[in-house]
Copies of this chain bind each other. A is one copy, B any other.
Amino acid sequence: MAVTFACLARRSMALSRPHGGRHMSDIDNGDFQERIQANFARQAALHTIGAELTRVQRAMVEIELPFDVKLTQQHGILHAGIISAALDSACGFAAYSVIDPDASVLTIEFKVNLLSPGRGDRFLFRGEITKPGTNIIVGDGRGYAIGDGPAKLIASMTSTMMIIRGREGITG
């Protein structure tokens, strides 16, 4: 085997020529950062939980969340549904950065693994695009608790999204 596989989801994709897909570097979808910020501003649920959009790059978005007791479950740790909301949003916004400006994204399904209890002062959720298809986009996300000491991996997500074009009432 002479092939050298590379680190990070991003690089794996540089290696790969998906059937029917395209390289992310081929995509010119204009000012995706502005569109993602406008989209974030319209997501009432994210404001309800106190989420902040802290980093937007092509195929990678980060959302941060200060700890708040109103977001906890019975053990005083971050509720799995809140973790899901933040990771799903990070993956979804990352998808917006690789689609046409007038298209939109709907999550079809996701899986979340809760790896460690969500304890910390603050949480960071990163979503990255693993496969930018023409109809289906797959993203992977990771959530970290931030407090004293190094960040702690608390959750991972794989999310499958569908690109929506021209469906009334469901635009970006």
Chain A residues at the B interface, C-beta cutoff of 8 Å: 1-9, 12-13, 15-21, 39, 42-49, 54, 64, 69-75, 79-82, 84-86, 88-89, 104, 106-117, 119, 124, 126, 130-131, 133, 135-136, 138, 140, 142, 144, 146, 149-153, 156, 158, 160, 162, 167, 169-172
- Chain B residues positioned under 8 Å from A149 (CB to CB): 17
Contact A108 B136 (CB under 8 A): yes
Q: Looking across the interface, which residue of chain B has its beta carbon closest to that of A119?
A: B19
- Chain B residues positioned under 8 Å from A114 (CB to CB): 106-109
Contact A115 B131 (CB under 8 A): yes
Contact B89 A71 (CB under 8 A): no
Q: Looking across the interface, which residue of chain B has its beta carbon closest to that of A122?
A: B1
Q: Looking across the interface, which residue of chain B has its beta carbon closest to that of A152?
A: B16
- Chain B residues positioned under 8 Å from A81 (CB to CB): 45, 49, 81-82, 84-86, 88-89
Q: Looking across the interface, which residue of chain B has its beta carbon closest to that of A84?
A: B84
A3/B1 contact (C-beta < 8 A), A16-B150, A48-B70, A69-B44 known: yes
- Chain B residues positioned under 8 Å from A4 (CB to CB): 1-2, 4-7
Contact B1 A124 (CB under 8 A): yes
User: In angstroms, how far is the closest chain B Cβ from the Cβ of A31?
Assistant: 17
Q: Looking across the interface, which residue of chain B has its beta carbon closest to that of A131?
A: B115
- Chain B residues positioned under 8 Å from A13 (CB to CB): 153
> Which of A21, A88, A144 has most B Cβ within 10 Å?
A88
Give Cα A146 to B5, complex, Å. 11
